Amino acid sequence: MRRVGDVVRVAQGLAVVRAPDADFPETGTAVVDENLDELGTVVDVFGPVDRPYVAVSPHDDVHLPGLVGRRLYAR
């Protein structure tokens, strides 16, 4: 399991995650929380190369505003 980063905001139905460094997951990667519950998938990576943002599309049953401030991981 690899750290994706912390959710900094929600926008247009996506969770925006700030990666801690340049090691970010590829699009299509499953994203989980600390309990290994699958929350969604990576759909885009954008921003500065050394510390990008990762856009995560949540599953239908995920309460998106509740993700802000949480740390997410790649499976």
Locate 6 and state its tokens.
């912390």
Please report the pLDDT score of residue 65 as a whole number. 95
**Across the chain, what does the average pLDDT equal?**
96
pTM: 0.93
Task: Name the domain count of the chain.
Answer: 1
* Residue-number span of the structural domain to which 31 is assigned: 2-63+70-74
Locate 48 and state its tokens.
């500065």
Confidence of residue 75 (pLDDT cuts 50, 70, 90): confident
Q: What is the mean pLDDT of residues 65-70?
A: 96
Q: Which residue shows structure tokens 């954008």?
A: 46
pLDDT tens, residue by residue, 5-36: 999 999 999 999 999 999 889 999 999 999 99
CATH of the domain at 38: 2.40.10.230
Q: Which of 40, 28, 37, 21 is nearest to 4 (CA)?
A: 21
pLDDT tens, residue by residue, 53-63: 999 999 999 99
Locate 53 and state its tokens.
């943002």
